[in-house]
Amino acid sequence: MMESGVPACNTCGDQVGLGSNGEPFVACHECNYPLCRHCLDYEIKEGRTSCIRCHTLYGDGDKVAHHGGSEEDGNQMTNASHLHTSAETGVHARNISTVSTVDSEYIDEYGNPIWKNRVESWKEKKNKKNRAAKKDKKDKKEAAEIPTEQQMDEKQQSADAAQPLSRVFPIPRSQLGPYRTVIVIRFIILVLFIHYRVTHPVDSAFGLWLTSVICEIWFAFSWILDQFPKWCPVNRETYTDRLSARYEREGEPSELAAVDFFVSTVDPLKEPPLITANTVLSILAVDYPVDKVSCYVSDDGAAMLTFESLVETSEFARKWVPFCKKFAIEPRAPEFYFSQKIDYLKDKIQPSFVKERRAMKRDYEEYKVRVNALVAKAQKTPDEGWTMADGTSWPGNNSRDHPGMIQVFLGSTGAHDIEGNELPRLVYVSREKRPGYQHHKKAGAENALVRVSAVLTNAPYILNLDCDHYVNNSKAVREAMCFLMDPEVGRNLCYVQFPQRFDGIDKSDRYANRNTVFFDVNMKGLDGIQGPVYVGTGCVFNRQALYGYGPAALPALPKSSSSCSWCSSCCCCCRGKKPAKEKDPAEIYRDAKREDLNAAIFNLREIDNYDEHERSLLISQMSFEKTFGLSTVFIESTLMENGGVADSANSSTLIKEAIHVISCGYEEKTAWGKEIGWIYGSVTEDILTGFKMHCRGWRSIYCMPLRPAFKGSAPINLSDRLHQVLRWALGSVEIFLSRHCPLWYGFGGGRLKWLQRLAYINTIVYPFTSLPLVAYCILPAVCLLTGKFIIPTLSNLASVLFLGLFFSIISTSVLELRWSGVSIEALWRNEQFWVIGGVSAHLFAVFQGILKMLAGLDTNFTVTSKSADDSEFGELYMIKWTTVLIPPTTILIVNLVGVVAGFSDALNSGYETWGPLFGKVFFAFWVILHLYPFLKGLMGRQNRTPTIVILWSILLASVFSLVWVKIDPFVSTNDASTAAESCISIDC
């Protein structure tokens, strides 16, 4: 209520109000210039401490409060001057005209138009304060009615919300200190050992010695690349309860960020629809607000079987999702939940649980029957092609020539579960395929999903999963949000990577399918540098990072540089401005390299600083459309840092636009696959995509919750496992031979840390270790067959070096086990399969990669089969013919033959030959022990090894032995002439 007789404030026009003594509030006691308390508060906050009329100091805030108001009012004023947020300051800074105190002298008591913007902002601020004061009174009144215990709980929740959402746990110094010390000691011993080996040649077997020294130098280099990126391992802990306290307040809409899930599949006969359906069901039932979840299934094979199975899945989800959320089921993939061999009644307190679980299991069995019936029906394709329920022909009958298809099953269609609750959105997507276009396999499918999701839902974060990786922890998304939505951590975060965990692997993990050493040792080490590499699945992306934008902490480039990097027409943005200071040539070079690294070199925060004219020039045909493609809807979505779709958007229009962005010609002459999205050029697009993001200055985080976030299936038989490893290795070779090789790419920007670069170099050069590894595995057999050895007679120094190297290797492994928690068995299995894969799959990958580069011969990889067989480890003993099996089989036979020949020679030559024999046999047994899982898998359950593998291996081993005896290349000329003379004398 306005008080009569109270003067109006000359700044904002409102009345100045009354003080505690009932008199009008006075800010300046020298000239009595009318100024209200709020305007005075703002003047002091802005640093203007003197009266704008007479320039007399206002005095301390408390003194002013005592002169013109109560002590309580003064405290409120003083506190207000310190509690304005930076966001409010930023608004005022853009809206307020900057007027000096000298200019203010010319303002009459009725105000001057030059203060209009300032007055409006003050009025708005004052209204906000009045509303806040009313709300505080209301809250106090309500709080008086709330019990004390509840008030304390609310205070505790607000306190939890203010705390950090995650915490870094460095490895204890008692573990990390000795580990680093041993690494340094081992490095020194390794240098001394290489020096000794180089300076002490074996003249009697010079070729063998030279080969072994070259191999040992490469192994030392490979160890450095693998070891030093693990210099700073860290552990992390998340606090999902604090996340809920901050973004999910009771009675208010959830403020958690939306997430788009991507699930990719190609061939439903090799990737059973039931496996894909379980992944989809686990996503739909995830513990996250339903309006924030959308699931996109990419069917890159355009199979009607996949489409029909999703129809059945969407129907079953209406029963499954409420059941999971009602009883807190884990995991929320029905196949894996019902197959658990645990007490499913543990922690369940509702009496109706047993009854509803039985009913749900029965419904799931019926659902499985329907899906399996679809699979059986799809085994034989009709001559006229598949027909849909309405009688029309299935558009994807020709998987290589079909239009784009999109079907929204849940979500926007208004479908609800059996309890009437909303369900997450489920979208089927099959991008257009036409002959003559390059579709880029999985990377192309993922990029199509990026565009479709941007048009339909545009969630700020993307979580991609393989079709056989289901959500094992329903709170996994919340775990990731503890990093991505943290104001401090999330600003520079491109993705959160979860470790891969697997079901259906034999207890001994014969072929190291779990990759425990990589996921629990190497990835923790990378997390302490710039972040883990992207491994293709179980990863939550910041959508802006996929678009090629730089992180928020990246130093802003000059506006002229960023705008001109898009088009020459943007140069007019810089006209009329002062010429920039001449740059140093090194700085110019670095800026040029930055432009090479970034598709969109500017950050979104830089765009906010452009005026409308500059912004319109930036969003033009020569800039954004050249980068992102000809879709206005999609381009606008890329500028929405927090995601979301306009409320006025028409769903039918969005579907048409979504069909447009998945057309096969959409990516032509754009930056898709080159600078933005999943990067093309390698069958391991995951490594390349993560590498580009790290080169732009982003960092990633490794999240390892106590309950594994995702679980998948692994190829457990030997043949499929080797083909999987072959695919990974070939992708690394392709990156090594491309322009994105970490040996030379991304140096100019200076954003990739050196240890991180070493880690990426290790990921692309490890297949080349197969060449020295094959040679080193054959050397023991050669030594046994020829009687020669690669090491001369050991001196005391040499013995110390050998023992020191041996103990340092053991110590490094033991200390790694100590801080990582990996078991000895897992470490040994990893070591064994490193040899098995090195002498087989990695070797073939090197030759195939070189042939592809030189002759353009591309390799077509078949999709690894995802087993749906109920028999446990049913495929473990299955052997399929493949040429990859020949090299390790040959090495095994040659070493076994060498051991037999060595013992036979020792028995014939006397006791003096037994000493050197043990050294040779030790190396031969080292090879045989490492290849033992391969030998066991080769034999199968009942000696089912393909005959052709045995015949080829024996033939190669026999030819090798015969040629060796005839040529004997490692025996010196003097030794050969001496042997000939002795033979002649014996004949005489």
User: Which residues have a catalytic role annotated?
Assistant: 300, 686
Q: What is the largest CA-CA distance in the chain?
A: 142
The CA distance from 327 to 348, in Å, is 7
Query: Phi and psi of 502, rounded to 5°?
Result: -130, 150
DSSP-assigned beta bridge partners for residue 18: 24
Local structure of residue 519 (DSSP, 8 states): I
Q: By 3-state DSSP, what share of the chain in percent is helix, strand and coil, each rounded to 5?
A: 55, 10, 40
The CA distance from 727 to 225, in Å, is 22
CA angle 749, 753, 754 (to 5 degrees): 110
Q: Is 300 annotated as a binding residue?
A: yes
Matching residue, tokens 């740059």: 583
Local structure of residue 247 (DSSP, 8 states): H
DSSP 166-198: EEEEEPPHHHHHHHHHHHHHHHHHHHHHHHHHH
Q: Is 432 annotated as a binding residue?
A: no
Q: Is 866 annotated as a binding residue?
A: no
SS3 946: coil
Q: What is the helix (H) or strand (E) element at residue 917, kind and residue range?
A: helix 914-930
Could you tell me if residue 701 is left (phi over 0), alpha (psi between -120 and 50 degrees) or otherwise beta? beta
Beta strands in 293-411 (DSSP E): 293-299, 405-408
Q: Is 711 annotated as a binding residue?
A: no
Asked if 751 and 695 count as a contact pair (C-beta separation under 8 A), the reply is yes
Asked if 241 and 160 count as a contact pair (C-beta separation under 8 A), the reply is yes
Asked if 409 and 310 count as a contact pair (C-beta separation under 8 A), the reply is yes
CA quadruple 363, 368, 373, 375: dihedral, nearest 10: 150
Q: Is 466 annotated as a binding residue?
A: yes
The CA distance from 694 to 689, in Å, is 9
DSSP-assigned beta bridge partners for residue 501: 711
Query: Phi and psi of 381, rounded to 5°?
Result: -80, 130
- Cα 975 to Cα 209, 219, 462: the distances in Å are 17, 32, 69
- Which tokens hold the place of 732? 């690394």
Asked if 170 and 180 count as a contact pair (C-beta separation under 8 A), the reply is no
Asked if 426 and 280 count as a contact pair (C-beta separation under 8 A), the reply is yes
Q: Is 441 annotated as a binding residue?
A: yes
End-to-end CA distance of the chain: 134
Matching residue, tokens 């990377």: 443
- Which tokens hold the place of 520? 């629990």
The CA distance from 557 to 571, in Å, is 15
Contacts 24+ apart (CB under 8 A), 569-572: 569/617, 569/620, 569/622, 570/614, 570/617, 570/618, 570/623, 572/617
> Which parts of 164-303 fold into alpha helices (H)?
173-199, 206-227, 240-247, 273-284
SS3 876: coil
Query: Phi and psi of 613, rounded to 5°?
Result: -65, -45
Neighbours of 416 (CB within 10 A): 13
SS3 497: strand
Q: Is 442 annotated as a binding residue?
A: yes
- Which tokens hold the place of 63? 């003194």
The CA distance from 339 to 111, in Å, is 78
Q: Name every residue whose Cβ is closer than 8 Å to that of residue 874 and which is 6 or more positions away in sequence.
A: 867
Matching residue, tokens 């005896």: 965
DSSP-assigned beta bridge partners for residue 549: 600
Asked if 295 and 428 count as a contact pair (C-beta separation under 8 A), the reply is no
Binding-site annotation: residue ranges: 264, 270-271, 300, 441-442, 466
Cite the annotated binding site for UDP-alpha-D-glucose by residue number.
Answer: 264, 270-271, 300, 441
> Which residues define the annotated binding site for Mn(2+)?
442, 466
